[in-house]
């Protein structure tokens, strides 16, 4: 059994709903999207070009009562799944 590699935390951010469930990144590793899987959970978009200083660029909330599940980035689009709002 080999030892696991040591990981280094580069930064920490508080997501809008403080309940991050999922993160997706762009192919160039410069933008990340996070989802807060809770009632009124947000999708947040982050500039992560400087890994030590992520900057929130935008938020999206389909419905204040909705729960977002996962999001992933494909090309220039973010694909989101919600429990009650379907695919966005």
Terminal CA-CA length for the chain: 43
Question: Which 3 state secondary structure label does DSSP give 8?
Answer: coil
Quote the pLDDT of residue 5: 86
Question: Does the model's pTM come out above 0.95?
Answer: no
- Tell me what the pLDDT averaged over the chain comes to: 91
Q: What is the mean pLDDT of residues 44-48?
A: 97
**Tokens describing residue 80:** 């989101």
């Amino acid at each position: 059994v080999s030892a696991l590699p040591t990981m280094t935390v580069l930064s920490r951010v508080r997501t809008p709903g403080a309940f991050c469930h999922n993160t997706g990144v762009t192919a160039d590793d410069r933008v990340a999207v996070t989802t807060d899987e809770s009632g009124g959970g947000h999708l947040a978009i982050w500039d992560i070009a400087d890994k030590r200083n992520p900057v929130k660029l935008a938020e999206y909330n389909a419905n204040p009562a909705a729960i977002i599940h996962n999001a992933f980035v494909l090309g220039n689009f973010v694909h989101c799944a919600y429990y009650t709002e379907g695919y966005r």
